[in-house]
Amino acid sequence: MRMLRLKKDKIMNATKLNLKGNWNVVKGKLKQAYGELTDDDLKYVEGQEDELVGRIQKRIGSTAADIQHLLEKYNRP
């Protein structure tokens, strides 16, 4: 369980760094793919990435791991 938590934290930390600079692009791609997402759902606050994932997860009904995968996918150059 601890190993899984450490891996999740490591992935989230890597994504945090990249989201800061590319958030508007990622947000646009998410809105195109999931029209039901609102600006409030996609409000990015540095240090509160888990809350962002939770809002997206609640709106589109996917797992946190799936949302993390989407963020990584849409954050690629």
Tell me the domain boundaries of the chain. 2-74
The DSSP result for 21-60, as a single string, is HHHHHHHHHHHHH-TT--TTTT---TT-HHHHHHHHHHHH
Q: What is the pTM of this model?
A: 0.72
Task: Quickly count: other Cβ atoms within 10 Å of residue 22's Cβ.
Answer: 14
Q: Which CATH architecture has domain 2-74?
A: Orthogonal Bundle (1.10)
pLDDT in tens, the chain (77 residues): 444 454 455 445 555 546 777 889 999 999 999 999 999 999 988 888 889 999 999 999 999 999 999 998 998 87
Can you tell me which residue has the tokens 């990249």? 18
Terminal-residue alpha carbon distance, the chain = 33
